[in-house]
C-alpha cells in the first residue's frame, strides 16, 4: 500500500530553489567612452518573467545601443548596459511677427541640452497685443530644429471718423509734423489765428493722442492750442461743368444705387435700382477729388455708378 493509500493525502511537492529564487539584474548607464552617467539601477523579478527595463532620458545624451539586452529575467553577467552618446540639441527658432507677416525683430534662437525642457516667452517689454501665440510655450529639446511664432497687433494708428465739414483753428502758433509717427516737428509753425480744413484723423492706440491731417503733408497733434470748428455748409452747388447725357445706373455689387443732395455727399438721400435710365445735366468734383454727376432731379450720383449711352 502506498503512502497515499495509507494516509489519504498527497505529500507536498518540493520546489527547486532555482524556481522560486528571484533574479536580480543590474542596469548600468554609460557613455560610449565607458563613463558612468547615472547611478546603477537594479531590477528584480521571478526567473523567466518579463522585464520592464528602467529606461532613462539623460540631458545632453542620446541612447545609441543596449548591450546584454534581455526581455525576461535570467542571469546576465555584467548586467545590462545602456550606452549613450553625447549630442547637441537643435535650437528652437522663435519668430515675432506683425499681422502682415513681417518680422518685428530678428528671429530668436532658444538653445539648451538635448532632452532638457525649454520655455518660450513673448518679446520682453512688448507693448503690442498678442493675436497669435504658439500652441504650447514649453517643450523638450530634440535633435531636430523646431520653430514657434508669436504674432502681434502692431497697428499703432486707428482711423477716426471725421465730419467732412470739419475745420481746425490754431489759437497760437503750432509746429506741425510730417506724419503722426514723426519724432521731430517741422521747422515752420502754423500761424496763430489761422484756420485749416481737416481731411482725416487718427488716434494713437498706445498714447491715445489724436492727430489731424490738414493736407499737404501737415499733421497736428490735438492740444489746447487749437480748436475744432464746423465748416459752414454752402447752400448751392458751385457752377457745374456741362455734362448732358443719357445714362444707365450700373452697380455690379449692389441692386440699389445711392443718390445725394448737395453738399451732403456722405449721407444718401434716396436710392434707385441699378439698371434705371436717367438724364444728366452737369458734373462737379468735391474737395476730395470725387466726381459727382447732377441729374435733372437736382440730385447727384457718383460718376462711377453711370454707364453713358451717348
Residues of the chain with CATH 3.10.20.320: 25-86, 92-152
- The CATH architecture that domain 25-86 belongs to is Roll (3.10)
The proportion of the chain whose per-residue pLDDT surpasses 70, expressed as a percent, equals: 89
Half-sphere exposure of 180 (CA within 13 A, CB side): 22
222-273 pLDDT, tens digit each: 999 999 887 655 556 667 888 899 989 988 777 889 998 886 777 888 999 9
Four-point Cα dihedral 226, 227, 233, 239, nearest 10: -10
Task: Compute the distance between CA of residue 143 and CA of residue 86 in angstroms, rounded to an integer.
Answer: 12
What would the CATH number be for the domain defined by 157-230?
Answer: 2.30.30
Tell me the average pLDDT of the chain.
85
What would the CATH number be for the domain defined by 241-308?
Answer: 2.30.30
Q: What are phi and psi of 18, to 5 degrees?
A: -70, -25
Please report which residue ranges of the chain form alpha helices under DSSP H.
Answer: 3-7, 17-20
What would the CATH number be for the domain defined by 92-152?
Answer: 3.10.20.320
Residues of the chain with CATH 2.30.30: 157-230, 241-308
Longest dimension (CA), the chain: 142
The side-by-side arrangement of strands in the sheet containing 277-285 is 300-302, 291-295, 277-285, 241-249, 306-308
123-180 pLDDT, tens digit each: 887 767 788 999 999 999 988 889 999 998 877 777 777 776 788 999 999 999 998 8
Q: What is the pLDDT of residue 287?
A: 59
Q: What global pTM score does this model have? A: 0.41
Amino acid at each position: 500500500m502506498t503512502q497515499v493509500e495509507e494516509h489519504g493525502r498527497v505529500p507536498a511537492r518540493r520546489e527547486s530553489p532555482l524556481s522560486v529564487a528571484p533574479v536580480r539584474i543590474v542596469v548600468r548607464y554609460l557613455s560610449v567612452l565607458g563613463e558612468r552617467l547615472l547611478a546603477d539601477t537594479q531590477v528584480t523579478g521571478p526567473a523567466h518573467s518579463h522585464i520592464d527595463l528602467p529606461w532613462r532620458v539623460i540631458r545632453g545624451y542620446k541612447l545609441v545601443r543596449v548591450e546584454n539586452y534581455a526581455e525576461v529575467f535570467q542571469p546576465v553577467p555584467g548586467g545590462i548596459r545602456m550606452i549613450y552618446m553625447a549630442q547637441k540639441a537643435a535650437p528652437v527658432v522663435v519668430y515675432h511677427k506683425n499681422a502682415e507677416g513681417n518680422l518685428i525683430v530678428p528671429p530668436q534662437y532658444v538653445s539648451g541640452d538635448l532632452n532638457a525642457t525649454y520655455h518660450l516667452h513673448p518679446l520682453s517689454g512688448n507693448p503690442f497685443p498678442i493675436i497669435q501665440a504658439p500652441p504650447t510655450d514649453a517643450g523638450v529639446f530634440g535633435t531636430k530644429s523646431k520653430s514657434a511664432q508669436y504674432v502681434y497687433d502692431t497697428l499703432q494708428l486707428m482711423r477716426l471718423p471725421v465730419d467732412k465739414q470739419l475745420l481746425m483753428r490754431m489759437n497760437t502758433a503750432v509746429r506741425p509734423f510730417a506724419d503722426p509717427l514723426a519724432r521731430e516737428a517741422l521747422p515752420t509753425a502754423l500761424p496763430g489765428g489761422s484756420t485749416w480744413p481737416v481731411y482725416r484723423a487718427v488716434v494713437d492706440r498706445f498714447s491715445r493722442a489724436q492727430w489731424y491731417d490738414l493736407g499737404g503733408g501737415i499733421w497736428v497733434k490735438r492740444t489746447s492750442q487749437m480748436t475744432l470748428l464746423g465748416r459752414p455748409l454752402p447752400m448751392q452747388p458751385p457752377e457745374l461743368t456741362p455734362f448732358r447725357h443719357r445714362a444707365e445706373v450700373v452697380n455690379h455689387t449692389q441692386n440699389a444705387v445711392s443718390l445725394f443732395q448737395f453738399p451732403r455727399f456722405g449721407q444718401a438721400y434716396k436710392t434707385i435700382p441699378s439698371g434705371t435710365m436717367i438724364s444728366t445735366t452737369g458734373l462737379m468734383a468735391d474737395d476730395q477729388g470725387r466726381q459727382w454727376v447732377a441729374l435733372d432731379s437736382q440730385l447727384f450720383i457718383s460718376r462711377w455708378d453711370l454707364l453713358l449711352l451717348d
